[in-house]
Amino acid sequence: MQETTGAAPEYPGDDGVTDDFGLAGVPDAFQRLWTPHRMAYIKGGQHQFKNVDDCPFCVAPEREDDDSLIVYRGRTSYVVLNLFPYNPGHLLVCPYRHIPDYTDLTVEETAEFAELTQTAMRVLRKVANPTGFNLGMNQGVTGGAGIAGHLHQHVVPRWGGDGNFFPIIAQTKAITQTLGEVRQQVAEAWPQANDAGPAAAGATDAE
């Protein structure tokens, strides 16, 4: 039986690129991916988007749909692809107003918010045939909201086996389509209403 020492395994070519300088610590079997670029987000934290001017969910409707990955614009809310999707077709339903809490929605906003969520599920079933969904709103910083200042609902399509060892062990997701392709596919399948209202036409309150 081979004895286990707990030391890190040998990798081909290591000797040629490793010097003899040693640091305190116990060698282990883990390989590490160094991501110093993430420090900008860590330092900013979830409080970094406090205002309308720097909120990505407020800025998105002011740009072209292709640029912002918007699939549909409603009267009080819109639907956009998640830039960092858990699965292909991961959508977000967002009110135009910069509000943090679900209870801040008006009756009209609540109705359309729910309607767009249902429509998102129907469209995703049509174009991607998922076998399940995860729906959710993380409320507040302690509730896990990535952008706590602007309410948004996640609509995540699920398929059998999409939670395999790859994302669980390696913290890695394999996304099989580009965001542009998914946006076009979902947008084309979205039912278009004739009375989408001023928000869909890009009008502002000032107009």
The pTM of the full predicted model, rounded to 2 decimals, is 0.65
Name the range with the highest mean pLDDT among 34-38, 103-107, 137-141.
103-107
Sheet containing strand 153-158, strands side by side: 70-73, 77-81, 91-95, 153-158, 132-136
Who wins on pLDDT, 4 or 75? 75
pLDDT in tens, 145-192: 778 889 999 999 998 877 654 444 444 455 556 788 888 889 999 998
pLDDT confidence bin for 60, thresholds 50/70/90: very high
Rg (CA), the chain: 22
Structure tokens at 127: 């174009």
The per-residue pLDDT for 160 is 83
Confidence of residue 26 (pLDDT cuts 50, 70, 90): low
- Under CATH, domain 47-189 is a member of which superfamily? HIT-like (3.30.428.10)
Question: Tokens 């913290």 — which residue?
Answer: 171
Confidence of residue 198 (pLDDT cuts 50, 70, 90): very low
Domain ranges within the chain, ordered by starting residue: 47-189
pLDDT at 179: 82
pLDDT for the residue 74: 96
For the ranges 28-42, 46-60, 148-162, which has the lowest average pLDDT?
28-42
* Mean pLDDT for all residues in the chain: 76
pLDDT at 206: 36
- Residue % of the chain over a pLDDT of 90: 42
Catalytic positions: 152
Average pLDDT over residues 127-142: 89
